Structure 1
Amino acid sequence: MKRNKFKYSLIAIATSVLASCSSSYLEVLPKGSSLEASYYTNQSEAFAGLVAVYDIMRKNSGGFENMITMLNAGSDDTVAGGGGATDGVGLQSFSNYTISPTTVPASYWGDHYQGVFRANFLLSKLPNIPMDATLKARYTAESQALRALYYFNLVRLFKNIPLITTPLASTEIYNVVQAEPSAIYAQIEKDLNDAIPVLPISVPASDAGRLTKGAAQALLGKVYLYDNKLSEAAAQLAIVNGTPNGANPYGYKLLNNFSDLWVVANKFNSESILEVTHTYASNAGWGNWGSGTDEGNSVVQMIGPRTLTRPTGSTAPAYYSGGWSFNPVTQDLYDVLKNDPRFSATILDAKALKAAKQINYISGYQDTGYFINKFMPKQSDVSTGLGNIELNFRQNSYIIRLADSYLMEAEALGGTGARAQALLDAVRSRVGLPSIPVSLNAIANERRLELACEGHRWFDLVRTGKAATVLSSKGFKAGKNEALPIPFKELENTKIKQNPNY
Structure 2
Amino acid sequence: MKNKLTYIAALFIGAQFMGSCKKDLDVNPRERILESNYYKTPEQAFSSLISVYDQFGNQSGGYLTKLNIFSSGSDDHYAGGDSPSDLGDLQAMNNYTVSSLSGAPSYLWGKGFTGVYRANIFLQKVEEIQMDASTKNRYIAEAKALRAIFYFDLVRIFKNIPLILKPVETSDWYNVLQVPPADVYKQIELDLKEAIPNLPLTVPRNTEGGRLTQGAAHAVLGKVYLWQEKFADAATEFADVNGPSPGTTPSKYGYVLMSKFEDLYKLANKFNSESILEISYNSTSNMGWGNVGSGEGNVAGIMSGPRNYNILIPDKAPDYVSGWSVMPFTKEFFALIHFDPRNKPTVANLDSLEKAGIVTYKHANDNTGYFVEKYAGRVSTKANSGQLELNFPYNLYEIRLADTYLMEAEAVLKSGGAVGAGSRAYAALNAVRARVGLKPVDVTMDNIIKERRIELAAEGQRWFDLVRWGLAPAKLAFKGFVAGKNETLPIPNGELNNTKIVQSKEWGGTK
Query: TM-score, with normalisation over the residues of structure 2?
Result: 0.92
Partners of 2:482 and 2:2 lie apart in 1 by 46
Residue 3 of structure 1 deviates from its aligned partner by: 3.7
Per the alignment, in what secondary structure is the counterpart of residue 300 of structure 2? helix
Q: How far does the alpha carbon of each residue in 1:117-159 deviate from its partner, in whole angstroms, 9 at most, with x for none? A: 0000110111121111111101100000000111111111111
Partners of 2:74 and 2:18 lie apart in 1 by 26
Per the alignment, in what secondary structure is the counterpart of residue 498 of structure 2? coil
Paired position in structure 1 for 2:445:
440
Q: Which amino acid aligns with 1:152?
A: F
Q: How far does the alpha carbon of each residue in 1:38-74 deviate from its partner, in whole angstroms, 9 at most, with x for none? A: 2212211111110100001113799711111111100
The correspondence for 2:19, drawn from 12, 17, 24, is 24
Partners of 1:170 and 1:283 lie apart in 2 by 34
Residue 209 of structure 1 deviates from its aligned partner by: 1.0
Paired position in structure 2 for 1:43:
42
Instruction: Tell me if 1:261 matches 2:260.
Output: no
Residue 196 of structure 1 deviates from its aligned partner by: 0.5
Q: Which amino acid aligns with 2:479?
A: K
The correspondence for 2:424, drawn from 402, 407, 419, is 419
Partners of 1:46 and 1:151 lie apart in 2 by 22
Paired position in structure 1 for 2:255:
252
Matching of residues 314-353 of structure 1 within 5 Å: 314-321=315-322, 323-353=323-353
Identity value in percent: 47
Residue 82 of structure 1 deviates from its aligned partner by: 0.5
Judged with a 3 Å threshold, the aligned counterparts in structure 2 of structure 1 residues 431 and 61 are, in CA distance, closer, same or farther, namely farther
Residue 303 of structure 1 deviates from its aligned partner by: 0.6
Unpaired runs of at least 5, structure 2: none
Judged with a 3 Å threshold, the aligned counterparts in structure 2 of structure 1 residues 23 and 392 are, in CA distance, closer, same or farther, namely farther
Partners of 2:281 and 2:163 lie apart in 1 by 30
Q: Which amino acid aligns with 1:238?
A: A
Residue 26 of structure 1 deviates from its aligned partner by: 10
Q: How far does the alpha carbon of each residue in 1:82-129 deviate from its partner, in whole angstroms, 9 at most, with x for none? A: 022222221111111111111142111001100100000110111121
Residue 214 of structure 1 deviates from its aligned partner by: 0.7
Verify the 8 A CA contact 1:61 1:68 in the aligned structure 2: no
Instruction: Tell me if 1:232 matches 2:247.
Output: no
Partners of 2:33 and 2:266 lie apart in 1 by 47
Paired position in structure 1 for 2:301:
300
Q: How far does the alpha carbon of each residue in 1:398-438 deviate from its partner, in whole angstroms, 9 at most, with x for none? A: 10000000001111112652221111110100000001111
Paired position in structure 1 for 2:311:
310
Partners of 1:363 and 1:329 lie apart in 2 by 13
Verify the 8 A CA contact 1:82 1:324 in the aligned structure 2: yes
Verify the 8 A CA contact 1:479 1:500 in the aligned structure 2: no
Partners of 1:397 and 1:177 lie apart in 2 by 34
Verify the 8 A CA contact 1:26 1:173 in the aligned structure 2: no
Residue 393 of structure 1 deviates from its aligned partner by: 0.3
Instruction: Tell me if 1:282 matches 2:267.
Output: no
Per the alignment, in what secondary structure is the counterpart of residue 361 of structure 2? strand
Q: Which amino acid aligns with 2:13?
A: L
Per the alignment, in what secondary structure is the counterpart of residue 308 of structure 2? strand
Q: Which amino acid aligns with 1:259?
A: E
Verify the 8 A CA contact 2:413 2:443 in the aligned structure 1: no
Aligned residues: 492
Matching of residues 83-162 of structure 1 within 5 Å: 83-105=82-104, 106-162=106-162
Q: Which amino acid aligns with 2:368?
A: T
Partners of 1:383 and 1:316 lie apart in 2 by 21
Matching of residues 404-483 of structure 1 within 5 Å: 404-414=403-413, 417=419, 418-483=423-488
Superposed CA RMSD in Å reads 2.3
Residue 376 of structure 1 deviates from its aligned partner by: 1.2
Verify the 8 A CA contact 1:60 1:68 in the aligned structure 2: no
Instruction: Tell me if 1:175 matches 2:175.
Output: yes
Q: Which amino acid aligns with 2:246?
A: P
Q: Which amino acid aligns with 2:464?
A: F
Per the alignment, in what secondary structure is the counterpart of residue 257 of structure 2? coil
Residue 459 of structure 1 deviates from its aligned partner by: 0.2
Residue 25 of structure 1 deviates from its aligned partner by: 5.1
Query: TM-score, with normalisation over the residues of structure 1?
Result: 0.94
Per the alignment, in what secondary structure is the counterpart of residue 274 of structure 1? strand
Q: How far does the alpha carbon of each residue in 1:144-175 deviate from its partner, in whole angstroms, 9 at most, with x for none? A: 00001111111111111110001111121111
Partners of 1:303 and 1:137 lie apart in 2 by 40
Residue 20 of structure 1 deviates from its aligned partner by: 5.3
Q: Which amino acid aligns with 1:393?
A: F
Residue 198 of structure 1 deviates from its aligned partner by: 0.5
Paired position in structure 2 for 1:366:
366
Judged with a 3 Å threshold, the aligned counterparts in structure 2 of structure 1 residues 373 and 340 are, in CA distance, closer, same or farther, namely same
